[in-house]
Amino acid sequence: MTSTNRTTNRPLVIASIMASMAMVAIEATIVSTVMPQIASELGGLHLYSWVFASFLLAQTAMTVVFGKLSDLYGRRPIFIWAVSLFLVASALCGLSQEMWQFILFRGLQGLGGGAVFPVALAVVARTMPQMNIFIVAMPLKVAVGLFVMALAMRELAPLMQRVFGALPAYWRAAVF
């Protein structure tokens, strides 16, 4: 019986984890900024809050589930599946024709997003030696920074509309 020694390319792992966490975090920035345009185009202003609620409910509910699944089936396959689900759901959000479709696909995004954060942090904690464990906080700091940026952009969006005029219907490209 031979054992295979697998080496881990730590910088690539950390860069991939940071990119995926940034992708999920910046998604909130994009959607909150263009949500008025989305609601007016899809005609569902009364469903406005469900766009955010569906994502957050799915993300919150699945965080613990995907943590356990990654313990059972491995972090890599669960992480790849989660990022793939998030990207496919993002594409489906961009193809939505009605508000209920957008809400449903945002829920799917939340399923993928609910796996990215816990699995990413578990991968970094497992990959890094004990002396470098402070690096685990780096992706979290990036995500928190993007969240703060999302809040700032949400407040700056009306000002940008006044300065640059009405925003064109490019929200579909932003959601992709």
Q: What does the pLDDT look like over 20-47, one tens digit per residue?
A: 888 887 777 778 778 888 888 888 888 8
Q: What does the pLDDT look like over 108-134, one tens digit per residue?
A: 999 998 888 888 888 877 777 665 556
pTM exceeds 0.75 for this model: no
Please identify, in words, the CATH class of the domain defined by 10-159: mainly alpha
pLDDT at 1: 46
Closest by CA to 140, choosing from 121, 123, 153, 114, is 121
Q: Can you tell me which residue has the tokens 């919150």? A: 60
Separation of alpha carbons 157 and 176, rounded Å: 19
Q: What does the pLDDT look like over 61-79, one tens digit per residue?
A: 988 898 889 989 998 899 9
